[in-house]
Structure 1
Amino acid sequence: MQLPSLITACQQQLQQQRSSLCYHNLAHTKGVVAAVAALHIAPEILIPAAYIHDLGYEQSAQGHEAIAIAWGQKQLPKWGFKQKQIQEICLAIEATQLGQKPKTILGAYLKDADISYSLSSHFWSRGELLRTEWQLENQRQYSDTAWLKLQYHFLEELLFFSPWGQLYLEPLRRYYLQQITERLQKMNI
């Protein structure tokens, strides 16, 4: 397995993305990679999956996971990944789809790591990056109130599937739900 070559290829591809992808970009990918690396769980699966998981965004936000999976299935054998590893990587990437329940525990960890990028001390600024990306990419504009309500609904429905997510990310989810509630109350909403 030639992980450094895979990392270089993914980083090069992400650096060439259009600038309107200001949330789903190399910084986001590196954040997800850092989260899975810190877990010390199956790094030979989770680190490649984290690097690949959003590569499809350049082509389409809709179905980008399937695009990333197809890329991985084609490219990973070139770097010495075994078929079983490729299958596990692809299942983990598949789990990152919105509304998708992970089929494997590694998928659960990747899905939670993907969300952890925004559930950090950078919650508000990264949320604004996503809002900007949606405006630039999809011409979807949100008032401050509408954006807060959308974030509230997302966090209200958010589930964590790994023990790590349930233990460490769930308190952050509740904290930011409370923060949003307080902001909406200040706006008399």
Structure 2
Amino acid sequence: MKFQPLLEEVKNYIISYFDVHHDPELIYHNLKHTKDVVASATQIANHYQLNDEEFFIVISAAWFHDTGYFTDKNNHEVKSAEIAHHFLKQQKVDADVINKVNSCILATQMPQKPTNLLEEILCDADLFHLGTDSFREKSKLMRREMEAIGHKELDKDAWRTGNIQLLQSHHYFTDYCRLLLNDQKEKNLAKLIDKQTEVTEKPEANELPEVNHTDGVVEKADHDGHEKKHKNDKPERGVETMFRISSTNHQRLSDMADNKAHIMITVNSIILSAIISLVLRKLDEHSNLLIPTFLLLGVSLLTMIFSILATRPSIPPGLFSHDDIEKKTVNLLFFGNFYRMSFEDYSEGMLKMMDDRDFLYGSLIRDNYSQGVVLGKKYRLLRASYNIFMFGLIISVMAFVISSLI
């Protein structure tokens, strides 16, 4: 089944669906929200490298997941699944795929209870904004929508308390979203709690009033003239999250490179075996195939050499000195720098690194850079391997054709 054209059909249908159906009460759950969820689901799905069918299931569910709001706001997940089922059935999509799309949509019902990766991706995409800078803006839109549906104004303090409870009870299901969004989500929660504390506390007589600055940060100066620090604080947790995500991505790219190299090694091993066991024996009878055969043999052998070089590990001496620790030039996060050291020396070095912020972050930077250098070498060798195989195979086939004709 061609899932990409079918996904375009789903997209066009949903856009038309929102154009036809109008509900002024849906201030938040509109086409923009749906597109945001689709974009978030695409981002998460690409991280996990889903195959075509899995990608179609997640993104289709993202497009359909809020269409049921126009018929039943209280039970919109079920209605959305019904709309998705009806449309996909008309498109002759396999029943198993339709069921998985419906399961993803139903998993977004609060409290979310996904049972597999595809459902987890959609659940995290639906509440992606909880861990972003747009949380405050979208919370306001949600409140306006609730007021429009209920035809009454909601108390700000009660709404803030509800948001605090939501953020405290919510957790992202995928590792990707936990690493990417948890820090900002905790900051959003802290801002709400700070605001709630300010509201509940009685202002002192000598306190200056609250001032709204143009950058959106609310600050209050006390009677000594000292101000709370907000945006100028260094986002250490955000930096650490960046390092974790970068390291994870490097590891994933390294695994991909190894898999590609293994494919080339396996394919060319088969070609070499076939040439040695079948073709070489008959060269006496077909001497015109001598040059093309050895050409193909050389191409396969050279391809395997570069693929093996791409995966061959390179291990440093595994030793460091106390002088290296004092100068902060050793990276204790890589096993190749300490595997031959005693535990006492390694432990001493790690404790010094953890106590020294510059040493710690310097090691993280050095480790990240080293991973990038290794990746660069792997992919250069891998690219050379693929180029040799591709062009060599073309030349060998042409040589075989020419030799056969002559």
Q: Indicate the TM-score class for this superposition, using the shorter chain for normalisation.
A: over 0.9
Per-residue CA distance 1:37-59 (angstroms, 9 max, x = gap): 11213321111010000000011
Structure 2 counterpart of 1:14, one-letter code:
F
Residues 178-189 of structure 1 mapped to structure 2, 5 A cutoff: 178-188=190-200
Structure 2 counterpart of 1:173, one-letter code:
K
Residues 108-187 of structure 1 mapped to structure 2, 5 A cutoff: 108-187=120-199
Q: Which residue of 1 aligns with 2:16?
A: 12
| Superposed displacement of residue 83, structure 1 | 1.5
Say how many residue pairs are matched: 189
Residues 19-168 of structure 1 mapped to structure 2, 5 A cutoff: 19-39=24-44, 40=46, 41=50, 42-168=54-180
**Structure 2 alignment gaps of length 5 or more:** 202-406
Q: Which deviates more from structure 2 when the two are superposed, residues 40-49 or residues 92-101?
A: 40-49
CA contact (8 A) 1:11 1:26 kept: yes
Normalising by structure 2, we get a TM-score of 0.45
Cα-Cα RMSD: 1.5
Aligned counterparts of 2:18 and 2:167: Cα–Cα separation in 1? 27
* Partner secondary structure for residue 142 of structure 1: coil
| Superposed displacement of residue 140, structure 1 | 4.7
| Superposed displacement of residue 169, structure 1 | 2.4
CA contact (8 A) 2:18 2:31 kept: yes
* Partner secondary structure for residue 101 of structure 1: coil
CA contact (8 A) 1:76 1:86 kept: yes
Aligned counterparts of 2:130 and 2:22: Cα–Cα separation in 1? 20
CA contact (8 A) 1:31 1:117 kept: no
Larger radius of gyration: 2
Structure 2 counterpart of 1:122, one-letter code:
S
Normalising by structure 1, we get a TM-score of 0.93
Structure 2 counterpart of 1:125, one-letter code:
E
Aligned counterparts of 1:23 and 1:145: Cα–Cα separation in 2? 20
Aligned counterparts of 1:98 and 1:176: Cα–Cα separation in 2? 20
Aligned counterparts of 1:159 and 1:167: Cα–Cα separation in 2? 11
Aligned counterparts of 1:108 and 1:28: Cα–Cα separation in 2? 18
Aligned counterparts of 2:152 and 2:165: Cα–Cα separation in 1? 17
**Structure 1 alignment gaps of length 5 or more:** none
